[in-house]
């Protein structure tokens, strides 16, 4: 039985990923900052709950101890993420963005990935087929954002794409450092979630498809890559 932990899994893409993986036979831990919401989500899914705030070292360490005591971990999905928005769900652009905006976004989206990966790495390295999936974004692609013919070129924000580009770098470096792991970044697509004020054009089921696919790869699968449902993406 494959044991999987998903951060930020009480709603949105994390919840749908958990649902699909439970259906596929995984033992799934729903990691959530809010204990009440997390427990409710886990009960609905037939999953396990673990309190996990990716911005809090003590919370992450406690979660790792809980999972270790329960038997270990095979798959880590770093899904928890935020995108700061302004009044009226507006994207915070280059003129308005502050260092505090950047710090807040990076604490969850980048430092959170490092906190969680660092804490759970010893468990993953004991697995026969360890996998890490980092939920990135198409907005992480320097190639796409610098191409005036690509839709992503017109996204005006700085904090969110910068954080996801950093996540892609973490993916590359972790994959090189730990060749026994399969470590990949995924782009779910523009999905209707609270993160973007539910303005996305695809469902969470569609968005979760690539996360689930990469969570289920075997020891001979790709590592150090960046993928959407159609295949590899340009960095």
Give me the active site residues, please: 160, 164
Q: Which helix (H) or strand (E) holds 122?
A: helix 111-124
Q: Which of 115, 33, 23, 134 shows the shortest CA–CA distance to 75?
A: 134
> Across-strand partners of 100?
none
Tokens of 29: 């831990």
> If you write DSSP's letter for every residue of 143-168 in order, what string do you get?
HHHT-TTSGGGG--BSHHHHHHHHHH
How many Å apart are CA 180 and CA 174, to the nearest integer?
11
b/e burial code for range 116-140 (CB count within 10 A of at least 16 → b): bbebbbebbeebebbbbbbbbbbbb
Give 3-state DSSP helix, strand, coil % of the chain, rounded to 5: 45, 15, 35
How many Å apart are CA 12 and CA 33, to the nearest integer?
14
Strand, helix or coil at 34? coil
């Amino acid at each position: 039985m494959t044991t999987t932990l998903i951060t930020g899994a009480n709603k949105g893409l994390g919840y749908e990923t958990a649902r699909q993986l439970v259906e596929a036979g995984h033992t799934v831990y729903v990691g959530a900052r809010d204990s009440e919401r997390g427990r409710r989500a886990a009960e609905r899914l037939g999953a396990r709950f673990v309190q996990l705030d990716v911005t809090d070292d003590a919370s992450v360490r406690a979660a790792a101890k809980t999972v270790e005591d329960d038997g270990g971990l095979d798959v880590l999905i770093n899904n928890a993420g935020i995108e700061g928005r302004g009044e009226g769900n507006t994207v915070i652009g280059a003129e308005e963005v502050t260092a505090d905006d950047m710090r807040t976004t990076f604490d969850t989206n980048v430092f959170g990935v490092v906190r969680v990966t660092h804490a759970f790495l010893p468990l993953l390295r004991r697995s026969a087929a360890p996998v890490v999936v980092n939920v990135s974004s198409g907005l992480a692609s320097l190639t796409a954002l610098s191409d005036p013919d690509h839709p992503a070129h017109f996204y005006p924000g700085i904090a969110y794409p910068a954080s996801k580009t950093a996540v892609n770098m973490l993916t590359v470096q972790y994959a090189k450092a730990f060749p026994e792991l399969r470590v990949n970044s995924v782009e779910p697509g523009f999905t209707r979630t609270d993160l973007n004020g539910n303005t996305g054009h695809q469902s969470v089921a569609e968005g979760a498809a690539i996360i689930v696919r990469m969570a289920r790869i075997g020891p001979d699968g790709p590592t150090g890559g960046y993928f959407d449902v159609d295949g590899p993406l340009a960095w």
